[in-house]
Amino acid sequence: MEDRSIIHVDMDAFYAQIEQRDNPKLIGKPVIIGGTSSRGVVSTASYEARKYGVHSAMPIKAAKKLCPEGIYLPVNMKKYKEVSKNIHGIFTKYTNVYEPISIDEAFLDVTGKEALEIAKSIKKDIRDKLRLTASVGISINKFLAKLASEVNKPDGLTIIEKDEVLSFLRPLPITKIWGVGPKMERELNKLGIYYIEDVQNYDVEVLVSIFGKRGKELYEFSYGIDNRPVEPRIANQSIGEEETFLKDIYDMEMLLDTLKDYSFNLSKKLKENRYLARTICVKIKYSDFTIETRSMTLNIPTNDERMIYKTAKYILLNKFNINREVRLIGLTLSNLIYPDDPIQLSMDI
């Protein structure tokens, strides 16, 4: 069986790079994109800002302490989405098998083609047509291609060959394995696992006994095994709205009213783009910055604001135990389909 050739394209500091492109006075300066109020969070930081320790998801207040001379700009999502569409248009020149995983990155399956030449051409097209840079990784699967794209940012191009996989992975921290966040990292550290090499040397049966299916997945990733295919999908795979309140609240009626507004706005967007949504997710960020999300997958996809709100209301009232003040509430619709797509009936309570 022929090895797959997978390309991962990741735009460099996407939002900030676009603003620097459109305003040359910002080039070379620390640009931070995000909520401009004291309660906002960083969406993207330019590489100049990252030198100060500023990173995405950081509260704006903390960013300003680290980088008081930074240039703070609001998110212009309409502009960024338009650029993203242009990037996806470039991908279709080279393959129809591409999977957007966010507004600024995607996987492409170019098996049987000259992956390196395609990667160079994509980078050139992005630079020539959009005046932007992207970092690109090439390897035999999605996990490795994504790791490769991180090696030489910004504007990098890295290949992880099949015979280099084990030596490349061995010294990397465990957090480089897909899905290992702070909580999982702490659990692995308790077992003496700090690097990918430690997983390679661990008894897979012990990992499975502790982490279940995830334990086997960790072990396979540590050896560079990833059989997930590149799955073509709607470029904008989810839509959502969220709001950081000016003051932390403990008012269920206000939370429900906010969800009702979101439901109306998102229903309108679905209808404008001829989408139906399968999955409805409510996000809560508390005053201590902890975040909880709960979701439901509908039997019948919908774009109806009443059904969206009814489901969101059910989630909020039945799947959360809100006993703290709330800083932010969000509503996201995902698993978007066109009405003519086949529908798989399911319900995730």
Report, as residue numbers or ranges, the catalytic residues: 105
For 313, the token pair is 């209301």
Sequence letter at residue 193: I
CA 111 to chain centre: 25
Is the Cβ–Cβ distance between 174 and 193 less than 8 Å? yes
Q: What angle do CA 101, 102, 108 make, to 5 degrees?
A: 40
Sign of CA dihedral 241, 242, 246, 247: positive
CA atoms of 253 and 270, how far apart (whole Å):
26
